[in-house]
């Protein structure tokens, strides 16, 4: 599942032109591949153009920077030709461009998404319950290359563990139960730890518990761990401040603090 984050983003502009496809900056290779695929899908096999991508999403942390670039590029190409591509088609092209994709082309819908096929497995609801997230980079200076990262191979124990978690996830989203969602996310994070371990994961879990967080979430192909809080709880401001101070003392200052809904993060002093 994708955890929505509205405080960072990618934007792309495409200007059709004769000649090759030029991308600025030139290291946005996945976005360039996505733009080429979009042109081919529109039947414009011989057309080139100028693609500009601007992003403030940190790269290599598992925050969906490449998917955001890719989706923005595909939509920019379609928009430049006066058309739109449906979310399912965008997902198909995104997976071809970057091998694995988040589900952001579907908006904030709560989805169970097959990231290497670009297929929605289950629509769970219009959105997640509101969450306040305090994210830390557990390996500053390191990056995970998703193209080189092998896919997790789950054993029978993992697969059996996911079954009840999926049912709990449905219930949490249907009822708006953020606490239950936090428990599901934490259990999933612990399973992920067997496949892409995050440094200091146990210590971060202890801080989350001590500060009264709902649980933790992890990037499936990165280094980020997020502490989840209920923004509707009156003690959340104090809890977030306590968790932030403990993380600072651990040498892992938070890199992002945001809400999954459109509201700004505001706490009384």
CA distance 100 to 152: 12
Q: Answer yes or no: do 233 and 139 share one domain.
A: yes
114: in domain: no
Structural domain span for residue 239: 128-259
% pLDDT > 90, the chain: 84
Rounded to the nearest 10 degrees, the angle between the axes of helix 201-211 and helix 236-250 is 150
Q: Residue 80 sits in a domain of what CATH number?
A: 3.30.230.10
Q: In sequence order, what DSSP letters do the residues of the chain get, joined into one string? A: ------S--EEEEEEEESS-EEEESTT-HHHHHHHHHHHHHTT-TT-EEEEEEEE-SPSSSSS-HHHHHHHHHHHHHHHHTT----HHHHHHHHHHHHSS--SGGGTT-EEEEETTTTEEEEEEESSPPP-EEEEEESSTT----TTTSPPP---HHHHHHHHHHHHHHHHHHHHT-HHHHHHHHHHHHHHHTTTSPPTTHHHHHHHHHHHT-SEEEE-TTSSEEEEEE-TTSTTHHHHHHHHHHHHHHHT--EEEEEESSS-------
- Nearest by Cα to 196 from 151, 246, 263, 253: 151
Q: Same domain, yes or no, for 60 and 146?
A: no
Domain at 194, CATH number: 3.30.70.890
Tell whether 152 and 253 lie within a shared domain.
Answer: yes
Q: Is 14 within a domain?
A: yes
Residue 4 in any domain: the answer is no
Q: Is the pLDDT of residue 242 over 50?
A: yes
In a domain, 65, yes or no: yes
The predicted structure's pLDDT at residue 152: 75
Whether 39 maps to a domain, the answer reads yes
- Give yes or no: residues 132 and 88 share one domain: no
Beta strands 48-55; 21-24: pairing state = parallel
Rounded CA-CA distance 132/135 in Å is 10
Domain boundary among 52, 75, 106: 106
Domain count, the chain: 2
- Say whether both 66 and 132 belong to one domain: no
Residue 265 resides in a domain:
no
Q: Give residue 148's pLDDT.
A: 62
48 inside domain: yes
**pLDDT at position 269:** 38
pLDDT at 112: 95
Pick the last residue of a domain from 73, 106, 139: 106
**pLDDT at residue 268 greater than cutoff 60:** no
What is the chain's mean pLDDT, rounded?
93
| Mean of pLDDT values over 37-62 | 95
Q: How many CA atoms lie within 13 Å of 243's alpha carbon, on the beta-carbon side? A: 34
Give the pLDDT confidence of 99-124 residue by residue, as tens digits: 999 999 999 899 999 999 999 999 99
More confident residue, 60 or 74: 74
Q: Do residues 253 and 133 share a domain?
A: yes
Q: pLDDT digits over 142-156, tens only?
A: 766 665 667 778 889
Looking at the fold, whether 132 and 96 belong to one and the same domain comes out as no
């Amino acid at each position: 599942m994708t955890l929505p984050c509205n405080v960072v983003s990618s934007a792309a502009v495409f200007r059709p032109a004769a000649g090759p496809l030029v991308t600025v900056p030139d290291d946005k290779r996945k976005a360039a591949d996505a733009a080429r695929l979009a042109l081919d899908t529109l039947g414009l096999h011989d057309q080139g153009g100028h693609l500009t991508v601007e992003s403030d999403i940190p790269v290599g942390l598992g925050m969906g920077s490449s998917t955001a670039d890719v989706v923005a590029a595909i939509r920019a190409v379609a928009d430049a030709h006066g058309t739109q591509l449906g979310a399912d088609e965008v997902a198909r092209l995104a997976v071809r461009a970057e091998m694995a994709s988040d589900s952001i082309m579907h908006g904030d819908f709560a989805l169970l998404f097959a990231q290497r096929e670009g297929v929605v497995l289950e629509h769970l609801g219009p959105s997640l319950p509101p969450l306040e997230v305090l994210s830390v980079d557990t390996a500053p200076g390191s990056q995970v290359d998703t193209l080189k990262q092998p896919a997790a191979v789950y054993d029978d124990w993992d697969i059996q563990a996911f079954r009840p978690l999926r049912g709990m996830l449905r219930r949490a989203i249907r009822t708006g139960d953020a606490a239950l969602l936090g428990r599901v996310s934490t259990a999933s994070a612990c399973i992920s730890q067997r496949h892409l371990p995050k440094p200091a994961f146990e210590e971060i879990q202890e801080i989350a518990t001590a500060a009264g967080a709902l649980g933790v979430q992890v990037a499936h192909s990165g280094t980020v761990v997020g502490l989840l809080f209920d923004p509707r709880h009156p003690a959340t401001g104090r809890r977030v401040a306590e968790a932030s101070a403990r993380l600072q003392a651990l040498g892992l200052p938070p890199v992002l603090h945001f809400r999954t809904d459109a509201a700004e993060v505001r706490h009384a002093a």
